[in-house]
Amino acid sequence: MDDEDQLVASAFSDDRGAVKRQLTKWSKPPMPKHIQEAKHRYAEEMTRLFRGSHSSSEVDFMFEGSTGFQENVWSVLEKIPYGRVTTYGLIAKVINSGPRAVGQAVGSNPCPLFIPCHRVVPSDMTVGNYSMMGKRPEDNGDVKRALLEREGIRFQGDKIPLAALWTPH
DNA sequence: TAGCAGATACCTT
DNA sequence: AAGGTATCTGCTA
């Protein structure tokens, strides 16, 4: 959080180092102070989101040190409806870019959960990858899957039903 | 239907 | 100008 109560970065992980790296990466030094304030409304919101609730309030973001391309991608992520998913390739199509570049930008999301990057999956509708600052993406697939299931998505084997696919516009 | 390459792709520093 | 990539597509069997 910055001094004007705008969200600069968020992180959650069983790896404390990863959390710290994520937060410092997107914060201008000195690091914002409010990180430990668990009672802050954003902290409570984050817990709700992790448990699979709908977002309950609008969030003011403050992006520092990001590129226009990244913010462009993130703005698409914010439009993905609750309980639905889209793919890297479809996002690439609407912004006239390539799927791998989109993957890079999605992976550099400064505010996971608030910006729902867990709702982006590969075109084969498997869960795909998820990571946070150095954790190997493939080690966090179960986290991503759990988040989607809490939003009501029922996997068929390792695949997400096509009905859950949302096409960005 | 599953596994593997190639793409001369696309963004970042 | 080089290096990284949380992908896609088409081909093989």
- DSSP per position, A46-61: HHHHHTTPPP-S---B
- Inform me whether the pLDDT recorded for A147 exceeds 60: yes
- Average per-residue pLDDT in chain A? 92
Cis, bond preceding A30 (omega within 30 deg of 0): yes
| Average pLDDT of the residues in A5-34 | 86
Identified catalytic residue from A77, A115, A117, A153: A117
Separation of CA A124 and C1' C13 in angstroms? 20
Separation of CA A34 and C1' B12 in angstroms? 30
Whole-prediction pTM value? 0.94
What nucleotides of chain C have any atom within 7 angstroms of a protein Cβ? 4-9
Ranges A5-19, A28-42, A61-75: which has the least confidence: A28-42
**Closest Cα to residue A113, out of A10, A35, A7?**
A10
> Which 3 state secondary structure label does DSSP give A120?
strand
Taking only the tens place, the pLDDT of each residue in A30-45 is 666 555 566 788 999 9
A154 strand C contact, CB < 7 Å: no
Who contacts A109 (Cβ-Cβ below 8 Å, separation ≥6)? A74, A77, A115, A117
Q: How far apart are CA A16 and CA A57, in angstroms?
A: 27
Residue A38's pLDDT is: 66
